[in-house]
Structure 1
Amino acid sequence: MSERHLLLVLHDVAPQTWADYQRFVEMVDALGNVPITWLVVPDFHRRQPLTAHAELCRKLDARLARGDELALHGYHHDDDAAPPRTPRDWLMRRVYTREGEFYRLDQAQARQRLEQGMEVFRRCGWPLHGFVPPAWLMSEGTRLALRETPLRYTSDLRHLYRLPDFQAIDAPGLTWSARSRWRRGLSRLVCAGLAACHRRAPLLRLGLHPVDMRHDFSRRYWVELLVRLLEEGRQPLTKIGCLNRQSPQLPGAGA
Protein backbone atom coordinates (compact mmCIF):
# COMPACT_ATOMS: atom_id res chain seq x y z
CA MET A 1 0.00 0.00 0.00
CA SER A 2 1.69 3.18 -1.21
CA GLU A 3 -0.40 5.49 0.98
CA ARG A 4 -0.10 5.62 4.74
CA HIS A 5 -3.29 5.47 6.75
CA LEU A 6 -4.37 6.24 10.29
CA LEU A 7 -7.20 4.79 12.36
CA LEU A 8 -8.48 6.79 15.34
CA VAL A 9 -10.32 4.38 17.65
CA LEU A 10 -12.19 5.31 20.84
CA HIS A 11 -12.73 2.40 23.23
CA ASP A 12 -15.35 1.68 25.89
CA VAL A 13 -18.07 3.95 24.51
CA ALA A 14 -21.04 3.88 26.87
CA PRO A 15 -23.32 6.27 28.77
CA GLN A 16 -20.84 6.32 31.67
CA THR A 17 -17.88 7.32 29.48
CA TRP A 18 -19.39 9.64 26.88
CA ALA A 19 -18.59 12.82 28.82
CA ASP A 20 -14.91 11.81 29.03
CA TYR A 21 -14.58 12.00 25.27
CA GLN A 22 -16.53 15.19 24.56
CA ARG A 23 -13.68 17.71 24.79
CA PHE A 24 -11.28 15.52 22.83
CA VAL A 25 -13.80 14.87 20.07
CA GLU A 26 -14.50 18.59 19.75
CA MET A 27 -10.78 19.14 19.15
CA VAL A 28 -10.67 16.33 16.59
CA ASP A 29 -13.71 17.70 14.75
CA ALA A 30 -12.01 21.10 14.60
CA LEU A 31 -9.16 19.52 12.60
CA GLY A 32 -11.46 18.79 9.69
CA ASN A 33 -12.54 15.47 8.23
CA VAL A 34 -11.07 12.96 10.68
CA PRO A 35 -13.41 9.95 10.91
CA ILE A 36 -13.53 8.05 14.19
CA THR A 37 -14.24 4.39 14.94
CA TRP A 38 -16.28 4.20 18.16
CA LEU A 39 -16.11 0.89 20.06
CA VAL A 40 -19.54 0.63 21.63
CA VAL A 41 -20.34 -1.46 24.73
CA PRO A 42 -24.07 -2.38 24.91
CA ASP A 43 -24.24 -2.77 28.72
CA PHE A 44 -21.02 -1.44 30.24
CA HIS A 45 -20.34 -3.21 33.56
CA ARG A 46 -24.08 -4.03 33.73
CA ARG A 47 -24.83 -0.53 35.00
CA GLN A 48 -26.80 1.20 32.24
CA PRO A 49 -27.90 -0.50 29.01
CA LEU A 50 -27.18 1.60 25.96
CA THR A 51 -30.72 1.13 24.67
CA ALA A 52 -32.06 2.88 27.80
CA HIS A 53 -30.02 6.00 26.99
CA ALA A 54 -31.86 7.64 24.11
CA GLU A 55 -29.72 10.79 24.16
CA LEU A 56 -26.49 8.87 23.61
CA CYS A 57 -28.09 6.81 20.85
CA ARG A 58 -29.05 10.05 19.09
CA LYS A 59 -25.50 11.34 19.44
CA LEU A 60 -24.11 8.14 17.96
CA ASP A 61 -26.63 8.46 15.12
CA ALA A 62 -25.13 11.90 14.47
CA ARG A 63 -21.60 10.50 14.46
CA LEU A 64 -22.61 7.95 11.85
CA ALA A 65 -24.06 10.76 9.75
CA ARG A 66 -20.64 12.49 9.90
CA GLY A 67 -18.97 9.42 8.42
CA ASP A 68 -17.80 7.72 11.62
CA GLU A 69 -18.12 3.98 12.31
CA LEU A 70 -19.61 2.16 15.28
CA ALA A 71 -18.17 -1.27 16.16
CA LEU A 72 -19.17 -3.80 18.81
CA HIS A 73 -16.85 -3.89 21.83
CA GLY A 74 -17.86 -6.83 23.97
CA TYR A 75 -21.24 -6.81 25.67
CA HIS A 76 -20.60 -6.08 29.36
CA HIS A 77 -16.85 -5.30 29.09
CA ASP A 78 -16.40 -7.21 32.33
CA ASP A 79 -14.72 -10.57 33.05
CA ASP A 80 -17.36 -12.62 34.85
CA ALA A 81 -15.80 -16.06 34.21
CA ALA A 82 -14.73 -18.39 37.04
CA PRO A 83 -11.72 -17.12 39.03
CA PRO A 84 -8.28 -17.76 37.46
CA ARG A 85 -6.67 -21.09 38.32
CA THR A 86 -3.24 -20.81 36.72
CA PRO A 87 -0.45 -18.21 37.03
CA ARG A 88 -0.94 -17.21 33.39
CA ASP A 89 -4.67 -16.74 33.87
CA TRP A 90 -4.07 -14.70 37.00
CA LEU A 91 -1.56 -12.52 35.17
CA MET A 92 -3.86 -11.91 32.19
CA ARG A 93 -7.10 -11.51 34.13
CA ARG A 94 -6.00 -9.75 37.31
CA VAL A 95 -2.80 -7.84 36.42
CA TYR A 96 -3.08 -7.03 32.70
CA THR A 97 -6.83 -6.45 32.93
CA ARG A 98 -10.01 -7.40 34.78
CA GLU A 99 -12.15 -6.69 31.74
CA GLY A 100 -11.20 -9.45 29.29
CA GLU A 101 -14.81 -10.49 28.84
CA PHE A 102 -14.17 -12.82 25.87
CA TYR A 103 -10.89 -14.31 27.13
CA ARG A 104 -12.39 -17.44 28.74
CA LEU A 105 -15.70 -17.92 26.91
CA ASP A 106 -16.43 -21.13 25.05
CA GLN A 107 -17.93 -21.06 21.57
CA ALA A 108 -21.56 -21.17 22.68
CA GLN A 109 -21.07 -18.46 25.30
CA ALA A 110 -19.21 -16.21 22.89
CA ARG A 111 -21.82 -16.73 20.17
CA GLN A 112 -24.62 -15.81 22.58
CA ARG A 113 -22.98 -12.53 23.60
CA LEU A 114 -22.09 -11.66 20.02
CA GLU A 115 -25.72 -12.24 19.01
CA GLN A 116 -26.90 -10.06 21.90
CA GLY A 117 -24.56 -7.28 20.82
CA MET A 118 -25.57 -7.55 17.16
CA GLU A 119 -29.22 -7.37 18.20
CA VAL A 120 -28.59 -4.08 20.04
CA PHE A 121 -27.10 -2.64 16.84
CA ARG A 122 -30.08 -3.91 14.83
CA ARG A 123 -32.53 -2.31 17.27
CA CYS A 124 -30.68 0.99 17.01
CA GLY A 125 -30.57 0.80 13.22
CA TRP A 126 -26.76 0.98 13.12
CA PRO A 127 -24.68 -0.81 10.48
CA LEU A 128 -22.23 -3.23 12.08
CA HIS A 129 -19.09 -4.53 10.43
CA GLY A 130 -16.63 -5.31 13.21
CA PHE A 131 -16.08 -6.63 16.71
CA VAL A 132 -13.18 -5.79 19.01
CA PRO A 133 -12.89 -7.88 22.20
CA PRO A 134 -12.27 -5.93 25.42
CA ALA A 135 -8.52 -5.64 26.10
CA TRP A 136 -8.04 -7.32 22.67
CA LEU A 137 -8.33 -10.73 24.39
CA MET A 138 -10.31 -13.54 22.80
CA SER A 139 -10.57 -17.25 23.45
CA GLU A 140 -10.46 -19.94 20.79
CA GLY A 141 -14.21 -20.29 21.37
CA THR A 142 -14.61 -16.63 20.48
CA ARG A 143 -12.61 -17.10 17.29
CA LEU A 144 -14.84 -20.03 16.29
CA ALA A 145 -17.99 -18.06 17.11
CA LEU A 146 -16.84 -15.08 15.03
CA ARG A 147 -16.45 -17.32 11.99
CA GLU A 148 -20.19 -18.06 12.23
CA THR A 149 -21.29 -14.42 12.17
CA PRO A 150 -21.71 -11.98 9.27
CA LEU A 151 -19.12 -9.67 10.86
CA ARG A 152 -16.31 -8.63 8.52
CA TYR A 153 -13.41 -8.00 10.89
CA THR A 154 -11.96 -8.23 14.36
CA SER A 155 -8.61 -7.07 15.76
CA ASP A 156 -5.95 -7.43 18.39
CA LEU A 157 -3.20 -5.00 19.39
CA ARG A 158 -1.10 -5.68 16.28
CA HIS A 159 -3.47 -6.69 13.50
CA LEU A 160 -6.80 -6.31 11.84
CA TYR A 161 -8.29 -9.68 10.91
CA ARG A 162 -10.55 -10.11 7.91
CA LEU A 163 -13.34 -12.55 8.80
CA PRO A 164 -14.28 -15.32 8.52
CA ASP A 165 -10.78 -16.61 7.74
CA PHE A 166 -8.81 -14.39 10.15
CA GLN A 167 -6.61 -13.09 7.38
CA ALA A 168 -4.18 -10.80 9.21
CA ILE A 169 -3.41 -7.25 8.11
CA ASP A 170 -0.52 -5.53 9.88
CA ALA A 171 -1.94 -2.64 11.91
CA PRO A 172 0.30 -1.78 14.89
CA GLY A 173 -1.58 -0.04 17.68
CA LEU A 174 -0.52 2.75 20.00
CA THR A 175 -2.26 2.85 23.37
CA TRP A 176 -1.70 4.02 26.95
CA SER A 177 -2.21 2.65 30.43
CA ALA A 178 -3.22 5.90 32.12
CA ARG A 179 -4.62 4.80 35.48
CA SER A 180 -1.79 6.31 37.53
CA ARG A 181 0.84 9.02 37.19
CA TRP A 182 3.72 6.57 36.75
CA ARG A 183 1.77 4.58 34.16
CA ARG A 184 1.06 7.74 32.18
CA GLY A 185 4.71 8.74 32.24
CA LEU A 186 5.86 5.29 31.14
CA SER A 187 3.14 5.08 28.50
CA ARG A 188 4.30 8.33 26.93
CA LEU A 189 7.85 7.00 26.59
CA VAL A 190 6.76 3.62 25.24
CA CYS A 191 4.24 5.15 22.84
CA ALA A 192 6.78 7.65 21.51
CA GLY A 193 9.20 4.80 20.84
CA LEU A 194 6.56 2.73 19.06
CA ALA A 195 5.42 5.69 16.99
CA ALA A 196 9.02 6.21 15.81
CA CYS A 197 9.46 2.48 15.14
CA HIS A 198 6.27 2.32 13.05
CA ARG A 199 6.69 5.67 11.35
CA ARG A 200 6.71 4.10 7.89
CA ALA A 201 4.06 1.47 8.62
CA PRO A 202 1.30 1.59 5.98
CA LEU A 203 -1.37 1.42 8.68
CA LEU A 204 -1.24 2.79 12.23
CA ARG A 205 -3.93 2.72 14.93
CA LEU A 206 -4.44 5.03 17.87
CA GLY A 207 -6.40 3.18 20.55
CA LEU A 208 -7.71 5.66 23.14
CA HIS A 209 -9.59 4.97 26.36
CA PRO A 210 -11.82 7.12 28.59
CA VAL A 211 -9.20 7.30 31.34
CA ASP A 212 -6.79 8.93 28.84
CA MET A 213 -9.24 11.81 28.55
CA ARG A 214 -9.40 12.47 32.31
CA HIS A 215 -5.86 13.85 32.43
CA ASP A 216 -4.60 16.88 30.51
CA PHE A 217 -1.20 15.19 30.17
CA SER A 218 -2.51 12.19 28.24
CA ARG A 219 -5.27 13.98 26.35
CA ARG A 220 -2.80 16.59 25.10
CA TYR A 221 -0.42 13.86 23.98
CA TRP A 222 -3.07 12.22 21.80
CA VAL A 223 -4.12 15.51 20.20
CA GLU A 224 -0.53 16.46 19.43
CA LEU A 225 0.27 13.01 18.05
CA LEU A 226 -2.83 13.01 15.87
CA VAL A 227 -1.97 16.45 14.46
CA ARG A 228 1.60 15.38 13.75
CA LEU A 229 0.55 12.21 11.96
CA LEU A 230 -1.91 14.12 9.82
CA GLU A 231 0.75 16.70 8.97
CA GLU A 232 3.06 13.85 7.96
CA GLY A 233 0.51 12.85 5.35
CA ARG A 234 -1.36 9.97 6.93
CA GLN A 235 -4.91 9.64 5.66
CA PRO A 236 -7.48 9.05 8.42
CA LEU A 237 -10.03 6.27 7.89
CA THR A 238 -12.49 4.21 9.87
CA LYS A 239 -11.71 0.53 10.30
CA ILE A 240 -14.28 -0.57 7.77
CA GLY A 241 -13.18 2.21 5.42
CA CYS A 242 -9.64 0.88 5.65
CA LEU A 243 -10.77 -2.70 5.09
CA ASN A 244 -12.75 -1.68 2.02
CA ARG A 245 -9.60 -0.11 0.52
CA GLN A 246 -7.42 -3.12 1.26
CA SER A 247 -6.90 -5.90 -1.23
CA PRO A 248 -7.29 -9.38 0.29
CA GLN A 249 -3.96 -10.17 -1.35
CA LEU A 250 -2.13 -7.26 0.30
CA PRO A 251 1.59 -8.12 0.59
CA GLY A 252 2.53 -8.89 4.15
CA ALA A 253 -0.94 -10.13 5.08
CA GLY A 254 -1.53 -13.75 5.89
CA ALA A 255 -3.89 -16.12 7.62
Structure 2
Amino acid sequence: MAEANATRASLMLVLHDVAPETWPDYQPFIEAVDEMGDVPMTWLVVPDFHHRNPLAHSPAFCRLLERRLARGDELALHGFYHADDGPTPRNLGDYFMRRIYTHEGEFYALDQAQAMQRLEAGLALFDRQGWPVAGFVAPAWLMSQGTRQALRQLPLRYTSTPQHLYRLPDFTAFDAPGLVWSARSAWRRSLSRVVCDWQCKRWGAAETLRLGLHPVDMRHRSSRNYWLHTLDKLLLQGREPLTKSAWLERQVSA
Protein backbone atom coordinates (compact mmCIF):
# COMPACT_ATOMS: atom_id res chain seq x y z
CA MET A 1 0.00 0.00 0.00
CA ALA A 2 1.32 3.43 -0.93
CA GLU A 3 1.89 5.97 1.80
CA ALA A 4 0.54 9.52 1.60
CA ASN A 5 3.29 12.14 1.78
CA ALA A 6 1.52 15.49 1.51
CA THR A 7 2.73 17.96 4.14
CA ARG A 8 -0.60 19.56 5.01
CA ALA A 9 -3.59 17.69 6.37
CA SER A 10 -6.55 17.75 4.01
CA LEU A 11 -10.18 16.81 3.55
CA MET A 12 -12.28 15.77 0.58
CA LEU A 13 -15.96 16.73 0.38
CA VAL A 14 -17.67 14.18 -1.88
CA LEU A 15 -21.29 14.37 -3.06
CA HIS A 16 -22.75 11.00 -4.03
CA ASP A 17 -25.71 10.27 -6.33
CA VAL A 18 -25.64 13.58 -8.17
CA ALA A 19 -28.56 13.78 -10.60
CA PRO A 20 -31.31 16.22 -11.57
CA GLU A 21 -33.76 14.72 -9.07
CA THR A 22 -31.29 14.87 -6.16
CA TRP A 23 -30.22 18.48 -6.78
CA PRO A 24 -33.13 19.97 -4.77
CA ASP A 25 -31.87 17.96 -1.78
CA TYR A 26 -28.33 19.22 -2.18
CA GLN A 27 -28.94 22.83 -3.18
CA PRO A 28 -29.35 24.43 0.30
CA PHE A 29 -26.33 22.52 1.57
CA ILE A 30 -24.15 23.57 -1.37
CA GLU A 31 -25.17 27.18 -0.88
CA ALA A 32 -24.17 26.96 2.79
CA VAL A 33 -20.80 25.43 1.88
CA ASP A 34 -20.17 28.13 -0.72
CA GLU A 35 -20.65 30.72 2.01
CA MET A 36 -17.75 29.15 3.92
CA GLY A 37 -15.34 30.21 1.17
CA ASP A 38 -13.36 28.27 -1.39
CA VAL A 39 -14.23 24.62 -0.71
CA PRO A 40 -13.75 22.50 -3.85
CA MET A 41 -15.96 19.42 -4.00
CA THR A 42 -16.08 16.17 -5.94
CA TRP A 43 -19.50 15.52 -7.49
CA LEU A 44 -20.25 11.85 -8.24
CA VAL A 45 -22.50 12.13 -11.27
CA VAL A 46 -24.97 9.41 -12.34
CA PRO A 47 -25.72 9.57 -16.10
CA ASP A 48 -29.28 8.17 -15.78
CA PHE A 49 -30.23 7.89 -12.12
CA HIS A 50 -32.58 4.91 -11.59
CA HIS A 51 -33.41 4.86 -15.31
CA ARG A 52 -35.47 8.05 -14.96
CA ASN A 53 -32.97 10.94 -14.91
CA PRO A 54 -30.96 11.01 -18.18
CA LEU A 55 -28.65 14.00 -18.03
CA ALA A 56 -29.22 14.65 -21.74
CA HIS A 57 -32.81 15.61 -20.85
CA SER A 58 -31.71 18.15 -18.24
CA PRO A 59 -29.68 20.88 -19.99
CA ALA A 60 -30.18 23.34 -17.13
CA PHE A 61 -28.68 20.88 -14.66
CA CYS A 62 -25.78 20.18 -17.03
CA ARG A 63 -25.08 23.92 -17.18
CA LEU A 64 -25.07 23.99 -13.38
CA LEU A 65 -22.43 21.25 -13.34
CA GLU A 66 -20.38 23.21 -15.86
CA ARG A 67 -20.48 26.23 -13.54
CA ARG A 68 -19.25 24.02 -10.71
CA LEU A 69 -16.35 22.88 -12.86
CA ALA A 70 -15.51 26.52 -13.52
CA ARG A 71 -15.39 27.09 -9.73
CA GLY A 72 -12.79 24.35 -9.33
CA ASP A 73 -15.01 21.41 -8.43
CA GLU A 74 -14.54 17.96 -9.96
CA LEU A 75 -17.05 15.67 -11.67
CA ALA A 76 -16.55 11.90 -11.43
CA LEU A 77 -18.53 9.04 -12.96
CA HIS A 78 -20.77 7.25 -10.45
CA GLY A 79 -22.14 4.16 -12.14
CA PHE A 80 -24.58 4.64 -14.99
CA TYR A 81 -28.04 3.91 -13.54
CA HIS A 82 -27.13 3.56 -9.85
CA ALA A 83 -29.59 0.65 -9.72
CA ASP A 84 -28.96 -3.08 -9.52
CA ASP A 85 -31.07 -4.42 -12.38
CA GLY A 86 -29.20 -7.70 -12.79
CA PRO A 87 -30.56 -11.26 -12.52
CA THR A 88 -31.92 -12.55 -9.22
CA PRO A 89 -29.11 -13.35 -6.73
CA ARG A 90 -28.12 -17.03 -6.76
CA ASN A 91 -26.79 -17.47 -3.20
CA LEU A 92 -27.29 -16.07 0.27
CA GLY A 93 -24.14 -13.95 0.15
CA ASP A 94 -25.18 -12.23 -3.06
CA TYR A 95 -28.75 -11.87 -1.78
CA PHE A 96 -27.51 -10.06 1.31
CA MET A 97 -25.27 -7.69 -0.68
CA ARG A 98 -27.81 -6.95 -3.42
CA ARG A 99 -31.14 -6.98 -1.58
CA ILE A 100 -30.44 -6.21 2.09
CA TYR A 101 -27.21 -4.21 2.20
CA THR A 102 -28.27 -2.23 -0.88
CA HIS A 103 -30.45 -2.36 -3.98
CA GLU A 104 -28.10 0.01 -5.77
CA GLY A 105 -24.91 -2.03 -6.19
CA GLU A 106 -25.04 -1.67 -9.96
CA PHE A 107 -21.51 -2.97 -10.60
CA TYR A 108 -21.49 -5.74 -7.99
CA ALA A 109 -22.47 -8.60 -10.31
CA LEU A 110 -21.42 -7.37 -13.78
CA ASP A 111 -18.95 -9.34 -15.87
CA GLN A 112 -16.15 -7.54 -17.68
CA ALA A 113 -18.07 -6.98 -20.91
CA GLN A 114 -21.15 -5.64 -19.09
CA ALA A 115 -19.06 -3.36 -16.90
CA MET A 116 -17.11 -2.09 -19.89
CA GLN A 117 -20.30 -1.26 -21.78
CA ARG A 118 -21.66 0.88 -18.94
CA LEU A 119 -18.34 2.51 -18.19
CA GLU A 120 -17.79 3.43 -21.82
CA ALA A 121 -21.35 4.76 -22.09
CA GLY A 122 -20.76 6.96 -19.06
CA LEU A 123 -17.42 8.22 -20.35
CA ALA A 124 -19.00 8.94 -23.74
CA LEU A 125 -21.64 11.11 -22.05
CA PHE A 126 -18.95 13.07 -20.21
CA ASP A 127 -17.10 13.49 -23.49
CA ARG A 128 -20.19 14.82 -25.29
CA GLN A 129 -20.67 17.35 -22.51
CA GLY A 130 -17.02 18.37 -22.66
CA TRP A 131 -16.50 17.44 -19.00
CA PRO A 132 -13.08 16.19 -17.90
CA VAL A 133 -13.27 12.95 -15.93
CA ALA A 134 -10.52 11.23 -13.96
CA GLY A 135 -12.44 9.04 -11.54
CA PHE A 136 -15.07 6.34 -11.28
CA VAL A 137 -16.82 5.35 -8.06
CA ALA A 138 -19.10 2.32 -8.11
CA PRO A 139 -22.50 2.76 -6.45
CA ALA A 140 -22.25 1.58 -2.84
CA TRP A 141 -18.51 1.13 -3.60
CA LEU A 142 -19.28 -2.41 -4.83
CA MET A 143 -17.15 -3.64 -7.75
CA SER A 144 -17.08 -7.08 -9.33
CA GLN A 145 -13.84 -8.58 -10.56
CA GLY A 146 -15.11 -7.90 -14.07
CA THR A 147 -15.48 -4.21 -13.20
CA ARG A 148 -11.92 -4.11 -11.93
CA GLN A 149 -10.69 -5.74 -15.12
CA ALA A 150 -12.58 -3.21 -17.22
CA LEU A 151 -11.19 -0.27 -15.23
CA ARG A 152 -7.64 -1.42 -15.94
CA GLN A 153 -8.30 -0.85 -19.66
CA LEU A 154 -9.83 2.63 -19.52
CA PRO A 155 -8.23 6.11 -19.39
CA LEU A 156 -9.31 6.76 -15.80
CA ARG A 157 -6.94 7.77 -13.03
CA TYR A 158 -8.66 6.51 -9.90
CA THR A 159 -11.46 4.62 -8.21
CA SER A 160 -12.26 4.31 -4.50
CA THR A 161 -13.71 2.26 -1.67
CA PRO A 162 -14.78 3.53 1.77
CA GLN A 163 -11.21 3.61 3.14
CA HIS A 164 -8.95 3.95 0.10
CA LEU A 165 -8.35 5.70 -3.18
CA TYR A 166 -6.87 3.48 -5.87
CA ARG A 167 -4.64 4.76 -8.63
CA LEU A 168 -5.51 3.23 -11.97
CA PRO A 169 -4.70 1.15 -13.90
CA ASP A 170 -2.59 -0.71 -11.34
CA PHE A 171 -4.95 -0.28 -8.34
CA THR A 172 -2.21 1.13 -6.11
CA ALA A 173 -3.95 1.84 -2.79
CA PHE A 174 -3.70 5.10 -0.82
CA ASP A 175 -5.15 5.44 2.66
CA ALA A 176 -8.08 7.89 2.57
CA PRO A 177 -10.52 7.07 5.40
CA GLY A 178 -14.09 8.16 4.90
CA LEU A 179 -17.00 9.24 7.05
CA VAL A 180 -20.50 8.32 5.89
CA TRP A 181 -24.00 8.35 7.42
CA SER A 182 -26.90 5.96 7.03
CA ALA A 183 -29.74 8.44 7.36
CA ARG A 184 -32.87 6.58 6.24
CA SER A 185 -34.31 6.17 9.74
CA ALA A 186 -34.03 7.90 13.12
CA TRP A 187 -32.12 5.02 14.74
CA ARG A 188 -29.68 4.88 11.83
CA ARG A 189 -29.04 8.61 12.11
CA SER A 190 -28.41 8.33 15.83
CA LEU A 191 -25.99 5.45 15.33
CA SER A 192 -24.27 7.24 12.45
CA ARG A 193 -23.54 10.24 14.66
CA VAL A 194 -21.95 8.05 17.32
CA VAL A 195 -19.87 6.10 14.80
CA CYS A 196 -18.70 9.19 12.89
CA ASP A 197 -17.78 11.03 16.11
CA TRP A 198 -15.69 8.01 17.13
CA GLN A 199 -14.08 7.84 13.68
CA CYS A 200 -13.22 11.54 13.77
CA LYS A 201 -11.33 10.97 17.00
CA ARG A 202 -9.72 7.77 15.73
CA TRP A 203 -8.56 9.43 12.51
CA GLY A 204 -7.78 12.83 13.98
CA ALA A 205 -4.14 12.56 12.89
CA ALA A 206 -4.91 11.07 9.48
CA GLU A 207 -3.34 12.87 6.53
CA THR A 208 -6.76 13.20 4.92
CA LEU A 209 -10.43 12.56 5.66
CA ARG A 210 -13.22 12.04 3.16
CA LEU A 211 -16.74 13.24 3.91
CA GLY A 212 -19.08 11.06 1.84
CA LEU A 213 -22.49 12.73 1.60
CA HIS A 214 -25.72 11.35 0.13
CA PRO A 215 -28.98 13.05 -0.86
CA VAL A 216 -30.90 11.40 1.97
CA ASP A 217 -28.54 13.10 4.44
CA MET A 218 -29.81 16.45 3.20
CA ARG A 219 -33.45 15.60 3.98
CA HIS A 220 -32.90 15.50 7.74
CA ARG A 221 -31.77 18.44 9.82
CA SER A 222 -29.62 16.33 12.14
CA SER A 223 -27.51 14.78 9.38
CA ARG A 224 -27.33 17.92 7.24
CA ASN A 225 -26.21 20.03 10.19
CA TYR A 226 -23.74 17.35 11.24
CA TRP A 227 -21.97 17.58 7.90
CA LEU A 228 -21.89 21.38 7.97
CA HIS A 229 -20.54 21.39 11.52
CA THR A 230 -17.96 18.71 10.78
CA LEU A 231 -16.78 20.47 7.64
CA ASP A 232 -16.46 23.77 9.50
CA LYS A 233 -14.57 22.10 12.36
CA LEU A 234 -12.10 20.40 10.02
CA LEU A 235 -11.49 23.63 8.12
CA LEU A 236 -10.86 25.48 11.39
CA GLN A 237 -8.34 22.77 12.30
CA GLY A 238 -6.41 23.79 9.19
CA ARG A 239 -7.33 20.94 6.88
CA GLU A 240 -7.11 21.93 3.24
CA PRO A 241 -10.16 21.06 1.11
CA LEU A 242 -9.23 19.23 -2.10
CA THR A 243 -10.96 17.33 -4.86
CA LYS A 244 -10.13 13.66 -5.18
CA SER A 245 -8.06 14.29 -8.30
CA ALA A 246 -6.06 17.08 -6.67
CA TRP A 247 -5.38 14.97 -3.58
CA LEU A 248 -4.30 11.94 -5.60
CA GLU A 249 -2.01 14.06 -7.77
CA ARG A 250 -0.15 15.15 -4.64
CA GLN A 251 0.35 11.56 -3.53
CA VAL A 252 1.59 10.43 -6.93
CA SER A 253 4.00 13.36 -7.32
CA ALA A 254 5.31 13.27 -3.74
| Structure 1 position 187 matched with structure 2 position 197 | no
Q: 2:145 aligns with which of 140, 162, 168?
A: 140
Match of 1:126 in 2: 131
Counterpart-to-counterpart distance in 1, 2:232 and 2:84: 35
Equivalent position of 1:42 in the other structure? 47
Instruction: Provide the alpha-carbon RMSD of the alignment.
Output: 0.8
Alignment-derived partner of residue 69 in structure 2 = 64
- For residues 97 and 166 of structure 1, the distance between their equivalents in structure 2, rounded to whole angstroms, comes to 25
CA distance in 2, matches of 1:4, 1:92: 34
Question: Structure 1: how far apart are the matches of 2:252 and 2:184?
Answer: 38
Provide runs of 4+ in structure 1 moved above 3 Å. Answer: none
Partner of 2:179: 174
Give yes or no for the alignment of 1:233 onto 2:248. no
Q: Distance in 2 between matches of 1:165 and 1:241?
A: 19
Structure 1 gap segments, 5+ residues each: 251-255
Alignment of 1:8 with 2:16, yes or no, is no
Q: Secondary structure at the match of 2:149?
A: helix
Q: How does 1:70-85 map to 2 (within 5 A)?
A: 70-85=75-90
Once residues 20 and 133 of structure 1 are traced to their aligned partners in structure 2, the CA distance between those partners, rounded to angstroms, is 21
Helix, strand or coil: the match of 2:17?
strand
Matching residue's letter, 1:218: S
Instruction: Name the SS of the counterpart of 1:11 in structure 2.
Output: strand
Give, in whole Å, the separation in 2 of the partners of 1:201 and 1:48.
Answer: 37
Matched, 1:17 2:31: no
How many residue pairs align between the two structures?
Answer: 249
| Matched residue SS, 1:185 | helix
Q: TM (normalized to structure 1)? A: 0.96
Deviation at 1:83, TM superposition (A): 1.2
What is the aligned counterpart of 1:92 among 85, 97, 118?
A: 97
- Aligned partner letter, 1:113: R
Structure-2 separation of matches of 1:116 and 1:207: 25
Query: What fraction of aligned residue pairs are identical, expressed as a percent?
Result: 63
Three-state SS of the structure 1 residue aligned to 2:252 is coil
User: 2-side partners of 1:162 and 1:244: how far apart?
Assistant: 10
The letter for the 1-side match of 2:153 is: E
Quote the Cα distance in structure 2 between the aligned partners of 1:107 and 1:198.
35
Rounded Cα–Cα distance in structure 1 between residues aligned with 2:200 and 2:56: 37
**Per-residue CA distance 1:151-189 (angstroms, 9 max, x = gap):** 000000110000000000000110001001111111111
3-state SS of paired residue (2:109): coil
Q: C-alpha distance in 2, partners of 1:78/1:114?
A: 14
Shift of residue 48, structure 1, vs aligned partner = 2.0
Equivalents in 2 of 1:95, 1:221: separation in Å?
Answer: 26
> How far is the alpha carbon of 1:247 from its aligned partner?
2.8
**Hey, what's the Cα distance between the residues in 2 that align with 1:68 and 1:107?**
30
